[in-house]
Amino acid sequence: MNPTPLVVLEGIGKRFGAVTACQGVNLAIWPGRIKAVLGENGAGKSTLMGILAGQYQPDEGQVLVNGVPVRFRSTREAIAAGIGMVYQHFTLVPAMTVAENLALGQEGGPWFSPSAMARRVSTQAEALGFAIDPDARVADLSMGERQRVEILKVLSRGCQLLILDEPTAVLTPAETQTLFAALRRLAAAGVAVVFISHKLNEVLAVADEVAVLRRGRVVDECPVAATTSPAELARRMVGRDDFLAVDRVPLEPRQVVLRMAGVWGGGLHGVDLTVRQGEIIAVVGVAGNGQRPLVDVICGLRAPERGTVTILGQGWAEFHRTAPWQGGIGYIPEDRLGVAVCRELDAVDNFLLTTRQGFCRFGVLQRQRARQQVVELMATFRVHPPQPQLAARQFSGGNLQKLVLGREFFRRPRLVVADQPTQGLDVAATHDVWQALLAARTVAGVLLVTGEVSEALALADRLVVLYRGRVVAAFAADDEVEVARIGLYMAGAAAQEGAGS
């Protein structure tokens, strides 16, 4: 190991109003090493990395790069110091080519040579084992290919510390292995890598060392070689091990709550799908293969162009014209801050977005009664901090998701549509969400849309695989032969005969 760390954080503290995100954080990041940063949602990981990447300035402490104290006032200054971050949500321009995206923001004088940039991209991509066409439009690339472009963009600016935030959330298993191989090549070349993930198996597979944050403090650091299992990592992260499994007792399926037959539109191609009360149907696939239009059609955000959709015994138009606030659809969107809630409203007002009919009397909104209900839901779903007056943006992803679950389940839905409900959540928050979805089966049918095969197998009675808007496979979760082929189905390399649910 290089005797001198590339980056050192000393006594870092950061507050957002009354919320303390980081306090007294000390951390060293070494060249040629992959450091995983773990922690529950709200532990301070994103804030800490945001300070390193120039998004935030610390309230206390200092950052040293190559032994020199620095204070980044922008991401541009951090990049100039050799620190780059690849975020969960990519920042590429879809209409531009790969080479053009890499050229954005770079200082090269008045003359730009597309051919020279293309050669540079090809050289960098080849060195990392990436198969990237410099002249390809970003809009035509898969999510895994786009991520590789983001990494190349950061490295092309002379990055010596690469920070990756949940980098495998939208990747197939094969794309994940390609990414890991590239990270190992970077580390071998002396680049420092920080890997933020909630997928503990992946941490064990790729990282050299682990730092664990809890409530804004580093509570543990260890080499990965000294860690025996994901369960041990989870215990280090959360401090308990009662969340490591769920007990899924099969229920007898009852009445049909959703039936789709030959549905086309918005990228869907003849989709057939049935969900019954008492079961969880998991829709799996790589992001961008029809999941969004499927959810939009079911939840009334997009009308089907062809085919029939029956919800709770009613046709699509009839149901959504008079959809009940209770006993209808409970919708947990993928985009928590953009769709599920309003960022600047407090927890009570966000609760009332879909439940206000239950808190009106003679035309008067009973906000105090709603507030008491939110307090009870926060206790039931273990939301931290349990402060109803906080704005949605002040909660971590996991705690915000539990608020959304509490709100939607308060409505006693008969059909639950959960779109990527645990994406970006830690193991403890994921366990809480899983338990809530399993409990919902007693009164509802659950449609779970997920990119995590392990999640689908843990929760679902049946799996449906989407590829380019088509159902290419549908099978029981205990069908070992079909489960072994999921990766092929997700990649479009195989399709069942007569796939359907």
Average confidence (pLDDT) over 131-156: 85
d(CA 162, CA 87): 11
- What is the pLDDT, as a whole number, of residue 60? 94
Average confidence (pLDDT) over 177-191: 91
d(CA 172, CA 288): 12
Query: Going by DSSP bridges, is the β-strand pair 209-214/217-223 parallel, antiparallel, or unpaired?
Result: antiparallel
Enumerate the CATH 3.40.50.300 domain ranges in the chain, comma separated.
7-238, 250-328+411-501
Tokens of 16: 């957002």
- What is the pLDDT, as a whole number, of residue 231? 76
In the chain, pLDDT over 70 holds for what percent of residues? 94
Tokens of 399: 């705690």
Average confidence (pLDDT) over 471-485: 93
- What is the pLDDT, as a whole number, of residue 500? 61
pLDDT interval class at 173 (50, 70, 90): confident
Express each pLDDT in 276-300 by its tens digit.
Answer: 999 999 999 887 889 999 999 999 9
In the chain, pLDDT over 90 holds for what percent of residues? 54
Which residues lie closer than 8 Å to 271 by C-beta, 6 or more apart? 260, 262, 263, 264, 290, 294, 307, 469, 470, 471
DSSP output for 453-464: HHHHHHH-SEEE
- CB 406: neighbour CB atoms within 10 A? 21
CA-wise closest residue to 220 among 65, 41, 35: 35
Tokens of 291: 């999941």
Express each pLDDT in 46-81 by its tens digit.
Answer: 889 999 999 999 999 999 999 999 999 998 899 999
- What is the pLDDT, as a whole number, of residue 105? 66
Average confidence (pLDDT) over 435-440: 93
- What is the pLDDT, as a whole number, of residue 40? 72
- What is the pLDDT, as a whole number, of residue 498? 61
**Does position 103 have pLDDT exceeding 90, yes or no?**
no
**Does position 267 have pLDDT exceeding 70, yes or no?**
yes
CATH 3.30.2320.20 applies to domain 7-238: no
d(CA 378, CA 36): 30
Angle, nearest 10°, between helix axes 173-188 and 143-155?
10
Average confidence (pLDDT) over 237-262: 80
Query: Going by DSSP bridges, is the β-strand pair 462-467/280-284 parallel, antiparallel, or unpaired?
Result: parallel
Q: So what's the architecture of 250-328+411-501 in CATH?
A: 3-Layer(aba) Sandwich (3.40)
d(CA 303, CA 24): 52
What separation in angstroms does the CA of 301 have from each of 267, 292, 296, 333? 14, 10, 5, 12
